[in-house]
Amino acid sequence: MSLLVVGLSHRSAPVSVLERASLAAETQAKLLQDALAAEPATEAAVLATCNRIELYADVDKFHAGVAELSTLLAQHSGVGLDELTPYLYVHYEDRAVHHLFSVACGLDSMVVGEGQILGQIKDALARGQELHTAGRLLNDLFQQALRVGKRAHSETGIDRAGQSLVSFGLQQLAAGADPGLWARGKRALVIGAGSMSSLAAATLARTGIAEIAVANRTRSRADRLVDILQQGDDTTVRARAIEMSAVGDELTRADVVVSCTGATGLVLTADALAAALGVRLDAPAETPTVTVTPAPADVEQHAAWVENGSAASAPVTPPRRVVVPAQSTGPVRLALLDLAMPRDIDGAAHRIDGVRLVDIESLADASADAPMAADVDRVRTIVADEVAAFGAAQRAAHVAPTVVALRTMAAGVVAGEIARLDGRLPDLDEKQRAEITQTVRRVVDKLLHAPTVRVKQLASEPGGAGYADALRELFDLDPQTVAAVSRADLNDPNRGRS
């Protein structure tokens, strides 16, 4: 079996495609179930965030795996395969491990070094465990990714290489001013009470915002977030919960709005925003374009690249021009931060006089030019070391069931010979029989010790997976016995706990 990941992210696809391809929680569950129902995947996990959708699987056929996972992503995202394919990337084996570890460390994030991805990886693992789609390989992989991410944050200054998406967004809203001075005395409206909205509310409170109103479809969750904000020792923010039906009225009072919900449609339309401000929605203006380089245009190209050992990333295709709306000029009366995917706030809000809108797309453009800390190189070294260690451990684990099966077979041979000896020499007393049994076992153990230790060492090296096959062939081991050992290891309730 081999690890394969097929996905798309802010690095390979425009926000408009990511937005359409976003997966609700129930859709993710169905995707995982369908991945296991279809060959050739035996395990599956999905990592879906506001700027990436990745399907991980343990497959026994590479080309069939790429085709199947790509098709499943298209089916469940609702974006046609022909349209989705140019933005997909494929990573295989060690490159797939390297990719997830880099993601866990924040190296592949829109804002380098952000730590929110660790919680999202943990959620992806928990979902796979709950649905029983994550087996031994993906449990080990995601558990190790969490450890690597925590190690990177504790041993380096990667946190200084970038802020959280929320903090970075607030910096963009402040437009070069000190966020603390910019936020002082302002009133904020936070729409949503999930993890990202809660982080946004806490960040606003620490930044020095004076008042926060929280609106959420489920009022109890808004009340709970307000309680958390008011219990904070490091803020003096005034917080209150409101009904979603009161959002329109609250817009007339707010200076800052942060929205991150799971809604599939717009939460704030441009017309509603214009009405709240009592201004007219301006006619569309001519908008500039920027160059974006997408991923390769053909899944087969991915397969060829990966099979030829150069799967670090997708091959380059001609650049594409996309439209980026310009912001309105003049004093900012209402600052909008949209962290949702798909978006909560109408992109046409940029045409409203006095409104400044920062969304995932504009954050991606701004973060592309963000300075990289020297610690990033240290994190890359950590990732490379951890990938090598994980590969060695997996290869060693691959041979372990064969070694156990070999020793089980040897024990059976010893037991059979001792039983035959009992039949031929029935007059042996217990002491004599025990001594003979122990002697035979020592001989077998000594004969097996060197080859089993050596095969574990060789199996941990690159290309060492074949040694387990050789051991099974040389000793004519029953494949079902080896498989039974593997299943017993997989069903160990203590496995994968950290």
- Residues with a catalytic annotation lie at 50
Report strand pairing: 211-215 vs 187-191. Answer: parallel
Structure tokens at 292: 């974006």
* Main-chain dihedrals φ then ψ at residue 191, nearest 5 degrees: -105, 120
Which has the closest alpha carbon to 61: 39, 78, 44?
39
Burial group, residue 89, by CB count within 10 angstroms (0-12, 13-18, 19+): buried
Strand boundaries in 40-154, DSSP class E:
41-49, 52-59, 89-92
DSSP label at residue 495 = T
Q: Report which residue type is found at 19.
A: E
Distances (CA, A) of 436 to 409, 414, 442, 443: 19, 11, 10, 11
Contact present, 255 and 332 (Cβ < 8 Å): no
Which has the closest alpha carbon to 327: 360, 349, 302, 342?
349
- Determine the Cα–Cα distance for residues 338 and 51; give it in Å rounded to an integer: 13
Q: Report which residue type is found at 38.
A: A
SS3 190: strand
* Main-chain dihedrals φ then ψ at residue 218, nearest 5 degrees: -100, 110
* Main-chain dihedrals φ then ψ at residue 100, nearest 5 degrees: -65, -40
Which has the closest alpha carbon to 336: 16, 325, 160?
325
The set of long-range contacts for 354-358, using a CB threshold of 8 Å and a minimum separation of 24, is 354/277, 354/279, 354/328, 354/330, 355/273, 355/277, 355/328, 356/173, 356/175, 356/327, 356/328, 356/332, 357/327, 358/169, 358/172, 358/173
What CA dihedral angle connects 12, 13, 14 and 19, to 10 degrees? -140
Structure tokens at 207: 């930044």
- Name, in order, each residue with C-beta under 8 angstroms of 464's C-beta and a sequence gap of 6 or more: 395, 399, 458
Rg of the chain taking only CA atoms, in angstroms: 28
Strand boundaries in 407-457, DSSP class E:
none
